[in-house]
Structure 1
Amino acid sequence: MSEPVPGQGDRQSRRRGGRHWVVAAVGMPALLAWGLLVVRLNGRYVECVTEHGPTSTDMIDGVAGPCYSITMRAVVVYLGFLAALVATVVVGVVLGVVDGRRRCRFAYARWVCVVVVGLTGTLALAAYALAYGLGRLLPAHRPPRHRPQPSDVALQQGWIEAIRLHQRLARGEPPPTVVALGFIGPGVVYLDAPFTYSRFYGTTVTYGQSSTFAVGSPMFVTGSVVGDMIGNSVARSRAASLAQPQWREFTYARVVVTPTTTWCSLGGRWLAFDHDAAMEYTIDGPNCVLTFAEVEPLRLSGPSAWHHAVMFAYARYGPAQWQDAPFLHPLREAARSLATPNPRFPQQNREHV
């Protein structure tokens, strides 16, 4: 069974790579314009020296020659252009080797960008092309294998167990019961598992305001007043953020599910959440949320969330209608796909059913 857990799949968007080539195509004309500025300043420098002589570029007795300012501007612009040119060549070499080793297409097949870079930065494109060929000759880059984290393995195992439970109940078999040691509440126990417990509500947050009595110059007094205003504004904004409705009381809880109630043990205190009192039930990945009319919503997070969803639906709607619960749609589809015979892999069909 390799059905991914809803909400835990690969969410990386498949976008076309090589966005740095778009940046290069936009930036290279600016580098070309910079080079033209260097040529123009060099022409003005030559004209000025020809007119006023070689000593016109010097600083004599604290007095600058007529060509001194032009010389300084030309030097600064030239050095900046040279540094930018060297940087583009170095970047081209690095990217060429990396793309070649990864066996990517040349310039990620962004041919319009290649033409623009070739016209405005021929040296950078040549450096990339040579380094790309060198990278193709080197051993291919092999990304490290992804090692699943223990939490991912636990979530996947919980999803698989929920599918098996769904299949068992769908065949008309009674729900399995467990022995919950230490729990002597009414009814049989369908689930006894650890969850992360939290509640959703707003609260009232108090904060203190500062008021400084400043004596001194008008600038000092004004600075103190402005500082107090900024500090009070930050404290007020933080208090308003903390007071907004949000998930609170995060803690680990032992959760026991019976035919009528979900019990949560918090520090030796048992809280009962009747299934019939729930107004809404939602689940997203490892989080199941029960909403009530008179008390704060309850969220239980953990690998057994989908197991809890199946047992809640079975207890709330009964053996005849539990499969129609809308929040079980992903689990229902996964169970149906695994139950459908695959003529190409009969051995896997026998293992899954």
Structure 2
Amino acid sequence: MGGPNRVNVPQSAESRRRDGRHWVVTAVGMPLVPVLAVPVFRLGEQYEACVAEHGLASTDRGNGVPGPCFQVTMWAGGISLAFYAAVLVTTVVGFVLGVVDGRARRTFAYGRWVCVVVVGLTGPWALLAYALAYGLGRLLPARRPPRPRPSEVALHRGWQEALRLYQRLARGELPPFVIAPGFLDPGPVYLDAPFHYARFYGTTVTYEQGWTYAYGSPAFVTGAVVGNLVGNGIARARAENLARAQWREFAYVRVVVTPTTTWCCVAGRWLPFGHDTALEFVIDGPSCVLSFADVEPLRLSGPSTWCYAVMYAYARYGPGRWQEAPFLHPLREAVRGLAMH
């Protein structure tokens, strides 16, 4: 269960890293197109010289026998077709990308100016098509950004709530106490929220091994034996896959966090997970994983993951050391960035 923490932190549009890697690929591949022009030019000269010496009929197959200029004609035609096809494709692609980038109001060529120079020198037709289409796209109505999925919106709101909770506790304020109706412990409650619940463990799976009795020709008996072996192999592989250690018991549960314990209500039963018994706490995207010495690892996922991480750190390490928890590093950096602005 070890390894570095992996997190998915919502980012604003201004903080997204500049993309446009396809311009780098284009700048690397575009020089191949003018390279095709060299054999086209040389084969064209050979074709004209051959026709001047042997006549135009020498490019045909006379009575099934190719003329002396037939091979030169085939090579010149094939390479010329490849060259003009590459020019056409790069022009069309440049035009389409120009319209898309212009409507999206992106920076011209994503600001990859070195790539622009390379493309302009090796494929000016493609750069010209992109530039004209980019201007056209800027004149068109701006393309609306795709609407985020509800799950992404919920995760973003959970992240923002965790930032506010972190800042509140960092100022020395007391953690918020919530009302948890129906909860069995009368003590204070830090968090009451729904989570996706899972446990990680292996199990024992049994399967029945089939037997086949066959009587007949050798081919029939061999086929029956082979079929029985294949069927048993598939059943054994299926049982091994079901028995291996993996996440199980998936459920949508209610989670209540107290100063000492995380409680999960699974199928009507409250399962306690003591904070002082956890060996490791890892953030993995929208999930947190707790490993223990004597029970199976626990995974909780949902929009409240980061709020849970803050309250777990506060409950586990106390008011004086909770900010030192390594899994809170993304929150610390985000709060520090907000303070600098």
TM-score, L = length of structure 2: 0.69
- The separation in 1 between residues aligned to 2:218 and 2:41, in whole angstroms, is 60
1:70 maps onto 2:72 in alignment: yes
**Which residue is equivalent to 1:274?**
274
8 Å CA contact retained: 1:278, 1:293: yes
**1:198 CA drift (Å):** 1.3
- The separation in 2 between residues aligned to 1:107 and 1:332, in whole angstroms, is 31
1:247 maps onto 2:247 in alignment: yes
**1:57 CA drift (Å):** 2.4
Q: What's the CA shift string for 1:181-201, capped at 9, x where partnerless?
A: 2x4357554433211111223
**Which residue is equivalent to 2:49?**
47
**1:35 CA drift (Å):** 2.0
8 Å CA contact retained: 2:287, 2:301: yes
1:14 maps onto 2:17 in alignment: yes
**Which residue is equivalent to 1:80?**
82
**Which residue is equivalent to 1:201?**
201
8 Å CA contact retained: 1:256, 1:264: yes
8 Å CA contact retained: 2:177, 2:188: no
- The separation in 1 between residues aligned to 2:198 and 2:296, in whole angstroms, is 10
| Gaps in structure 2 of 5+ consecutive residues | 1-6
**Which residue is equivalent to 1:257?**
257
8 Å CA contact retained: 1:89, 1:123: yes
- The separation in 1 between residues aligned to 2:334 and 2:186, in whole angstroms, is 33
8 Å CA contact retained: 1:49, 1:67: yes
8 Å CA contact retained: 1:24, 1:117: no
1:30 maps onto 2:42 in alignment: no
**Which residue is equivalent to 1:301?**
301
Aligned residue pairs, count? 319
What RMSD in Å do the two structures reach over aligned CA positions? 4.7
Q: What's the CA shift string for 1:306-339, capped at 9, x where partnerless?
A: 443454445445567656655556657777888x
Q: Which amino acid aligns with 2:8?
A: G
Q: Which amino acid aligns with 2:86?
A: A
8 Å CA contact retained: 1:200, 1:245: yes
Q: Which amino acid aligns with 2:261?
A: T
Residues 208, 60 of structure 1: CA spacing in aligned structure 2 closer, same or farther, 3 A cutoff?
farther
TM-score, L = length of structure 1: 0.67
Counterpart of 1:110 (choices 108, 113, 116) is 113
- The separation in 2 between residues aligned to 1:46 and 1:95, in whole angstroms, is 39
8 Å CA contact retained: 1:18, 1:110: no
Residues 55, 259 of structure 1: CA spacing in aligned structure 2 closer, same or farther, 3 A cutoff?
closer
Residues 125, 168 of structure 1: CA spacing in aligned structure 2 closer, same or farther, 3 A cutoff?
closer
- The separation in 2 between residues aligned to 1:280 and 1:327, in whole angstroms, is 10
| Gaps in structure 1 of 5+ consecutive residues | 1-5, 345-353
Same amino acid, percent of matched pairs = 54
Q: Which amino acid aligns with 2:289?
A: V
User: Where does 1:172-191 land on structure 2 (aligned, <5 Å)?
Assistant: 173=174, 176-181=177-182, 183-185=183-185, 187=187, 189-191=189-191
- The separation in 2 between residues aligned to 1:25 and 1:165, in whole angstroms, is 46
